[in-house]
Amino acid sequence: MNKLIDLSRHIPAPDAAPTVAYTPITLPMEGRQPLELRITAPVQGTAIPIVLLSHGHGPSNYIASKDGYAHLAQFWAERGFAVIQPTHASSHVAGLPSDAEGAPFFWRERVTEMKTILDRLDEIMQQAPAISGRLDPARVAAVGHSLGGYTTSLLLGTNVKGEDFRDPRISAGILLTAPGRGGSELTPESAERFPFFEVDFSTLTTRALVVCGDADQPHFTTRGPDWFADSFHDGPGAEALLTMHGVGHGLGGIASLDAKETEAEVPDVLEATKRLTLAWLRDALGLEEAAWRTATDTLDGPASALARVTSA
């Protein structure tokens, strides 16, 4: 029960089912500290699809880790997915040292960490006995928020100065307020600080959903909220743009509840974001045919005040 939501109740979602979570799960990595993970999955069921959830690089100490985005991971896991959350090298609380190569964003290492998870699913399952043998490695999606959206876009095929980071094991992805084009699209200061934002979305061919907030004002460019939709306009695999109304970069509270990561808490829009992304994942990974169409049809009714969808 959530007394804070209203219009988002019109967007259908399955009832919640019990979940089990394991944390910390650790994977040794050569030349650095182990990679720490959290995995949350349904208590029952087999052939469970996998969602890799990549956190952002926000101002909070703990949200940028396996301990952030808990309510989002829980929402998806209660409705059919095994959600794996790494603590990336860029994490404030448990990342690599600030003087290590690639600091502070460690954008290459973040991609390596996501691929390492898929390389070593068997080791993860050994540390999560209640989930072992119940996942479907043939159905994998990647989702990322902010810098995590950038990480995810690379895994879906986005090139950086001609370099390809795609992982073919990932068949679908969601970019939550991911950065847009770099280079000349940025302020001079940002272009110098974020040279890795000089991307080519034309190679993003894996099936993707792009999610933006229509009040999101980027600090890196003189453009407005439309900057965050560049991957939709340029990426052949981006099949839909989901624009949430009245929220900024935090999408009403996506990273954590009651946290400074969010410029404005808007529970109804946040719930709509969770339900609509769930529907897209359930459709994309084969849990419920036409779930996305059914959910977005509600945006022609009362829920239209919360979001709009633009199809490619």
If pLDDT is split at 50, 70 and 90, which confidence band does 111 have?
Answer: very high
If pLDDT is split at 50, 70 and 90, which confidence band does 280 have?
Answer: very high
How far lies 215's CA from each of 234, 244, 306, in Å? Answer: 21, 9, 13
Nearest CA among 206, 23, 231, 29 for reference residue 110: 29
Residues 113-164: tens digit of each pLDDT: 999 999 999 999 999 999 999 999 999 999 999 999 999 999 999 999 999 9
Residue 260 pLDDT = 76
- Integer Rg of the chain from CA: 18
Weakest-pLDDT range from 161-170, 182-191, 261-270, 298-307: 261-270
Quote the mean pLDDT of the chain.
97
Residue 307 pLDDT > 80, yes or no?
yes
Residue 259 pLDDT = 81
Residue 41 pLDDT = 98
DSSP 112-162: HHHHHHHHTHHHHHHT-TTTTT-EEEEEEEEEEETHHHHHHHHHTT-EETT
Residue 1 pLDDT > 90, yes or no?
no
How far lies 289's CA from each of 34, 175, 282, 292, 294, in Å? Answer: 38, 21, 8, 8, 9
Residue 263 pLDDT = 81
Residues 253-266: tens digit of each pLDDT: 999 998 877 888 99
Q: What is the CATH number of domain 23-311?
A: 3.40.50.1820
Residue with tokens 């007394």: 3
C-beta of residue 25 within 8 angstroms of C-beta of residue 39: yes
The whole-model pTM stands at 0.98
- How many angstroms separate the CA atoms of 136 and 200, rounded? 31
What number is the average pLDDT over the span 19-47? 97
Residue 258 pLDDT = 86
